[in-house]
Amino acid sequence: MAEIISLPKPNKTGSMPLEQAIAVRRSRRHFLPKSLTLEQIGQLAWSAQGLDEGGRYRTAPSAGATYPLELFVVTNEDFSRYLPAKHALDKLASQDLRATLASAAWGQEFIQTAPLTLVFAAEFSRTTGRYGKRGVRYVYMEAGHAAQNIHLQAEALGLGSVAVGAFDDAAVSTVLSLPDNLEPIYMVTAGYCR
């Protein structure tokens, strides 16, 4: 299935000051089963891995600009991969994978209720190829930077989010049919909250 879905241009002048987003951020797990718009999904994906104006660098820092992360987008309707260079989604399946993803995350139920989970998968060799063993820690640090952007962006959009590090790697790889070169390392679940 090859369907490229263009995302609306990311908004770079939101109405919530950064300090306020930092001050109000909390892990939120009580999600409403309300879909997000493509604009909201695109904005969250952009905050994590979008390109800057020049098209060379991304919204989150990367050791040596090696960019080991790939971002997968699980919604209540479909499953896609975010394409930073196009600011688009490459739809991989028209299927709601949330229940199986929640099972792979040791039954964390909010993953099934929330309309969106962004999954970071890493190709470690992109970074270890340059930095050797030390590159492994750089990859995890980078995922933290990108995830924090999502948390703050979610707050600025009036949404809530929570980091998810507790999951069975092999089970998540199976649910998302990840290729052998990619390992799931982190997730952020987001949506409207009670």
Contact between 30 and ligand FMN per CB under 6 A = no
The residue with its CB nearest to ligand FMN is: 165
Binding span for ligand FMN by CB under 6 A among 33-41, 72-80, 160-168, 176-184: 160-168
Per-residue x/- track, 48-87, ligand FMN (CB under 6 A): ----------------------------------------
Q: How far apart are CA 128 and CA 66, in angstroms?
A: 9
Q: How far apart are CA 5 and CA 158, in angstroms?
A: 24
Pick between residue 118 and residue 162 the one whose CB is nearest to ligand FMN: 162
Helices and strands (DSSP H and E) totals, the chain = 7, 7
Contact between 166 and ligand FMN per CB under 6 A = yes
Q: Which of 20, 27, 174, 177 binds ligand FMN (CB under 6 A)?
A: 27
Contact between 137 and ligand FMN per CB under 6 A = no
CB 94 within 8 A of CB 152: no
Contact between 95 and ligand FMN per CB under 6 A = no
CB 113 within 8 A of CB 29: no
DSSP 87: T
Edge-to-edge strand list for the sheet holding 116-122 = 3-6, 88-93, 79-83, 69-75, 116-122, 183-191, 160-164
Contact between 178 and ligand FMN per CB under 6 A = no
According to DSSP, the residues that pair with 51 across neighbouring strands are 58
Residues that bind ligand FMN (CB under 6 A): 26-27, 29, 108, 162-166
